[in-house]
Amino acid sequence: MDTLEVVKIALNPTGYLIEKMMNRNVQTFSENSEKSNLQELKEHALREEIKSSVLQNQAKVEQELAIARRIETAEEVEIEEYYDLSGSGGAGFKGDDKGVTLGVNGEGRKVTRRIFKFKGCSLVVRKVSKESQA
């Protein structure tokens, strides 16, 4: 394992695992494409797409859990969140003696910004009930 891979693991372990999984999937798909028919390739691609989606969802959950753990141990937390999901669309129809005109337009915008600022670290002591230890 070279230095670059160690740095990638240290900075973003989930991203590193997703990258490795995607690279392996591409390699497997390339190897299978030479010896499979089109239907098998489509099925394999769909399977890999589903796996990728599940991995992305797991990564998001892990990220939220890591943020929650850090919030739990921080002495002071400052959170700023901005969400703006907006969209518009329209359709038009025009008819005259020269002909008929039909038009459709649409616009969408998504702004998401999350800022977490953590200060300090406090010791977290949890009480464990006897029932949960059993």
User: Helices H, strands E: what count in the chain?
Assistant: 4, 2
Please report which residue ranges of 74-120 form alpha helices under DSSP H.
none
The answer on pLDDT for 28 being more than 70 is yes
Note the pLDDT of residue 82.
81
The answer on pLDDT for 133 being more than 80 is no
Quickly tell me which residue has 């008819």 as its tokens. 95
Average pLDDT for 32-44: 75
